[in-house]
């Protein structure tokens, strides 16, 4: 199975998701999206594939979300995407693309919807995710 993860190695959720993928025996294509941003066309494609509102991909914590006033209703989806292109840190993570679908994997267990049962997994913080 081919998998791509839009990853931030500084994010625990992203690291746990990557570890779950690897526990499934898959070495994914890892795109550190802060170093290699996906660009507007790819963001639009990812949002459509996840079938989520654009706002669901916006990250607030640790980003310029508040200083840019992105919580205001005045912004169109296209404008919000433009902000994510200009400030890639605004893109929530991790986003995982597989032949079984595309998902924003927050919490990290959401990746199991794309992988199936990988057995018991222990997150960095010690939380145990039981097999399905």
Which residues are catalytically annotated?
Answer: 11
Distance, CA of 15 to CA of 118 (rounded, Å): 16
How many helices and strands in the chain, by DSSP H and E? 4, 6
- Cα–Cα–Cα angle for 118, 32, 16, rounded to 5 degrees: 30
Which residue reads 């990746």 in tokens? 111
Query: Contact 96/5 with Cβ under 8 angstroms?
Result: yes
- Residue 115 tokens read as 């992988």
């Amino acid at each position: 199975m081919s998998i791509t993860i839009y990853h931030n190695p500084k994010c625990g959720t992203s690291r746990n998701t990557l570890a779950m993928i690897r526990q499934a025996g898959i070495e994914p294509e890892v795109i550190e999206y802060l170093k290699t941003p996906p660009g507007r066309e790819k963001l639009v494609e990812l949002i459509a594939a996840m079938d989520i509102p654009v706002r669901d991909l916006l990250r607030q914590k640790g980003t310029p979300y508040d200083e840019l006033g992105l919580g205001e209703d005045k912004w169109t989806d296209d404008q919000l995407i433009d902000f994510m292109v200009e400030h890639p840190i605004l893109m929530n993570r991790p986003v995982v693309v597989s032949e079984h679908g595309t998902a924003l994997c927050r919490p990290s267990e959401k990746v199991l919807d794309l992988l199936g049962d990988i057995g018991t997994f222990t997150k960095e913080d010690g939380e145990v995710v039981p097999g399905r």
